[in-house]
């Protein structure tokens, strides 16, 4: 009697990293350096690495944090630009991957649709789609490391504007910038006042006939030097490694001081920012109408403009700011609630992002769907009740990557600890199920407020607090051990066969 051939067991990885952007490349480098015996792969749904820095193609795209802190601790930023444009950042990321031998570990066109955990086997099973062929494949992994950020890559957020179909020109969202968009000599209205808008306006102003930034609510905007003269001098005289390390420490301290000072003295911070804005803007400009937010500094993220380029565009007459609400789109532009009509040939909706935690991956544990809003964040890197899953979410009040590096270090130490003690499973569980909670990202930005009910929560004490302070995280993630009374280790009841 013949038997049908059995399907081969799925490929097994020690760690499956989701996303080949700045967090995923960083995580992979720490894995290869700290845990060289581990088998891992980076699954990237798109056809290229770099994440945000490859996806966004709008004019002027750049960082809003300095690259001495936004860059990796282990790889010096050698470029003279501190506030750097996207091509330079993308080159830096891909150079990091190549230098550390990570390119063979990246699998492009691999989109993780769902992951399911089996406690008996002590492993994850991942359902993966090949975005180039439509093929579905299955992988297993001891750990999942989610490094896809927190917003959707396939679409940005655009409010519903009455009369949108009436406008006869192109309407563009920066997240889907068309390569063939021509705006030279044309009137452009950019709707929004966040980091994307304040980047777009000066970048387009030199080419367009005029650019108007139409905002519903003002944002705090500060000029910063595009080049860090002190940092460049330190790298020149001390060498790239020592100069970078010192500049990084300087800028970390500077960021922390500015944020904490604004938190302690919001009225003084508001007055100082206004004074700086007045000096940057034309005489008689309506500063309080267009640059005086109704909230305190750092209740939302401050916008940085390198070398004051936005203010310069306003001074030169190439750009202007209008603070009003949209009544409707018209054939010729935008009708405001004040009755004024802004005529435009091109409208750009720089209206924000759609938050999507963990890349929209469907997560189940022992057959039970995980609802993120029912979980608590453990040390800002794991979820209560979810074993062997880590994620990378950086700072909202400082450079994103500062926290990612610390998380990756701690993650590698945690995995090494499990190996030493022959553990298969690591599961955070709060000792007090009635602990008071608050939102995971306690931040006033619109894109966070829209998604707060779909995100994990945090507690009121460590290790269930999500710290936004680098110094505190250095103590927690680098200085302290990985063991914790609320982190439970165990062995799998029936480990599955491993296929490399």
Quickly count: other Cβ atoms within 10 Å of residue 462's Cβ.
14
Mean pLDDT, the chain, rounded, equals 90
Residue 479 pLDDT:
86
Distance CA 115, CA 126 (A): 4
Residues ≥6 apart with Cβ < 8 Å to 450 = 157, 354, 355
Residue 398 predicted with pLDDT over 90: no
Residue 500 pLDDT:
38
Average pLDDT over residues 401-427: 94
First to last CA, the chain: 31
Residue 456 pLDDT:
85
Distance CA 446, CA 182 (A): 30
The residue to which tokens 């500062």 are assigned:
402
Residue 3 predicted with pLDDT over 70: no
Average pLDDT over residues 455-465: 87
Residue 148 pLDDT:
83
For residue range 248-282, what is the model confidence (pLDDT) as tens digits? 999 999 998 998 999 899 999 999 999 999 999 99
Distance CA 124, CA 144 (A): 7
Average pLDDT over residues 391-417: 90
Residues ≥6 apart with Cβ < 8 Å to 37 = none
Of the listed ranges 277-291, 312-326, 413-427, 433-447, the least confidently predicted one is 433-447
11-18 and 40-44 beta bridge pairing: parallel
> Rg of the chain's alpha carbons, rounded to an integer?
24
Average pLDDT over residues 383-404: 89
Residue 497 predicted with pLDDT over 60: no
Residue 434 pLDDT:
86
Distance CA 403, CA 183 (A): 39
Residue 2 pLDDT:
47
Does residue 140 contact residue 303 with C-beta atoms inside 8 Å? no
Residue 498 pLDDT:
43
Residue 130 pLDDT:
96
Residue 1 pLDDT:
46
Binned at pLDDT 50, 70 and 90, residue 499 comes out as: very low
Binned at pLDDT 50, 70 and 90, residue 152 comes out as: low
Residue 20 predicted with pLDDT over 60: yes
Residue 452 predicted with pLDDT over 90: no
For residue range 192-236, what is the model confidence (pLDDT) as tens digits? 988 899 999 999 998 999 999 999 999 999 999 999 999 999 999
């Amino acid at each position: 009697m013949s038997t049908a051939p059995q399907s081969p067991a799925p490929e097994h990885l020690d760690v499956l990293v989701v996303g080949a952007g700045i967090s995923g490349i960083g995580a992979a480098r720490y894995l290869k350096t700290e845990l060289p015996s581990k088998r891992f792969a980076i699954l990237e749904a798109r056809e290229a690495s770099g994440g945000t820095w490859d996806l966004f193609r709008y004019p002027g795209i750049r960082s809003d944090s300095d690259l001495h802190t936004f860059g990796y601790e282990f790889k010096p930023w050698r470029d003279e630009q501190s506030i750097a444009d996207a091509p330079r950042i993308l080159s830096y990321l891909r150079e990091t991957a190549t230098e550390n031998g990570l390119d063979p570990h990246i699998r492009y066109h691999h989109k993780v649709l769902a992951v399911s955990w089996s406690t008996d086997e002590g492993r994850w099973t991942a359902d993966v789609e090949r975005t180039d062929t439509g093929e579905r494949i299955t992988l297993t992994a001891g750990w999942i490391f989610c490094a896809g950020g927190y917003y959707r890559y396939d679409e940005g957020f655009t409010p519903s504007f009455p009369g949108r179909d009436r406008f006869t020109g192109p309407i563009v969202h920066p997240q889907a910038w068309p390569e063939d968009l021509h705006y030279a000599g044309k009137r452009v209205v950019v709707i929004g006042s966040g980091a994307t808008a304040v980047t777009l306006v000066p970048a387009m102003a030199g080419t367009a006939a005029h650019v108007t930034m139409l905002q519903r609510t003002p944002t705090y905007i500060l000029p910063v030097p595009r080049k860090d003269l002190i940092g460049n001098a330190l790298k020149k005289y001390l060498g790239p490694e020592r100069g970078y390390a010192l500049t990084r420490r300087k800028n970390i301290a500077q960021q922390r001081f500015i944020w904490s000072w604004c938190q302690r003295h919001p009225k003084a911070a508001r007055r100082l920012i206004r004074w700086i804005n007045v000096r940057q803007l034309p005489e008689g400009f309506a500063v309080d109408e267009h640059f005086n937010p109704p909230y305190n500094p750092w209740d939302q993220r401050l916008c940085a403009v390198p070398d004051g380029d936005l203010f310069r565009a306003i001074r030169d007459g190439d750009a202007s700011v209008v603070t009003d609400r949209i009544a409707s789109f018209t054939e010729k532009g935008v009708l405001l609630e004040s009755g004024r009509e802004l005529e435009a040939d091109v409208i750009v909706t720089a209206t924000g992002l759609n938050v999507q935690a963990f890349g929209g991956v469907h997560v189940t544990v022992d057959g039970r769907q995980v609802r993120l809003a029912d979980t608590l964040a453990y040390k800002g890197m794991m979820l209560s009740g979810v074993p062997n899953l880590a994620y990378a979410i950086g700072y909202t009040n400082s450079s994103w990557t500062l926290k990612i590096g610390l998380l990756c270090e701690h993650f590698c130490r945690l995995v090494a600890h499990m190996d030493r003690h022959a553990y298969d499973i690591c599961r955070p569980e709060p000792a007090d199920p009635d602990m008071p909670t608050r939102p995971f990202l306690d931040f006033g930005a619109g894109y966070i407020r829209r998604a707060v009910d779909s995100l994990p929560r945090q507690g009121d004490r460590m290790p269930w607090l999500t710290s936004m302070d680098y110094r505190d995280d250095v103590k927690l993630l680098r200085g302290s051990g990985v063991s914790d009374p609320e982190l439970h280790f165990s062995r799998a009841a029936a480990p599955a066969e491993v296929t490399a």
